[in-house]
A = this chain, B = another copy of it.
């Protein structure tokens, strides 16, 4: 440790935008984190979060984050693998919120409503979520194959496929789920709203149209 150490207590809370507590790392995945490692992890996430809200994703270099956290560069890469990993980790908290909403939140997005209704509710929520974090999401997309293998996409896919199956969508709900998710891809939505002149309302209407076609008389 070289840089000026921050006070040992409450090392968290992001800069301005939206304070998120990074002190509690995910106890799953990684078996356990040594005390200093956990501390550095949250320092790094704090620093990254701050740099992000202050200067945007393009200025978020690994050196800058390491330096701002008072940590060596190697530490950043060891903890997060690569730049995308750091960005994704930054997104993780929001991602869990969204997951909680459609897995266990109030109906019709959460359980309790008919599958078709949940499906209709899912699109707008997803579009909203991705749009809220499009900067981070787009910045983390260096490898076009990676998203499909990552937990967020897999979970959404499983969820949508289950609802489609439950709603009786036809022979291959898994593929239809990919199609539905593709239709709300962050990059596409961003393109359509920024360069294509579409509004969110139109995109939502299109989602509903798609869901209708996929759950209507076509089984």
A-to-B contact residues, CB < 8 Å: 138, 141-142, 144-145, 147-149, 170-172, 175, 178-179, 182-183, 185-188, 190-192, 195, 202-203, 205-206, 209-210, 212-214, 216, 218
- Contact between chains at B209 and A172 (CB < 8 Å): yes
Some 8 contacts from A to B, beta carbons below 8 A apart, are A142-B142, A144-B186, A145-B190, A149-B191, A170-B209, A175-B192, A175-B203, A179-B183
- Contact between chains at A206 and B145 (CB < 8 Å): no
Q: Is the interface of A mostly helix, strand, loop or mixed?
A: helix
- In the complex where A170-B209, A213-B213, A213-B218 touch, is A148 in contact with B178 (Cβ < 8 A)? no
| Total copies of the chain | 2
A189's nearest neighbour on chain B, judged by CB, is B178
How long is the Cα–Cα vector from A205 to B195 in the complex, in angstroms?
32
Nearest-Cβ distance from residue A174 to partner chain B, whole angstroms: 8
- In the complex where A170-B209, A209-B171 touch, is A188 in contact with B183 (Cβ < 8 A)? no
Residues of chain B lying within 8 A (CB to CB) of residue A210? 179
- Contact between chains at A138 and B149 (CB < 8 Å): no
Known: A148-B188, A172-B206. 11 other contacts (CB 8 A): A145-B190, A148-B195, A149-B191, A175-B192, A175-B203, A178-B183, A178-B188, A179-B179, A182-B188, A213-B218, A216-B218
Contact pick for A144, options B138, B205, B206, B218, CB 8 Å: B138
Residues of chain B lying within 8 A (CB to CB) of residue A145? 138, 187, 190-191
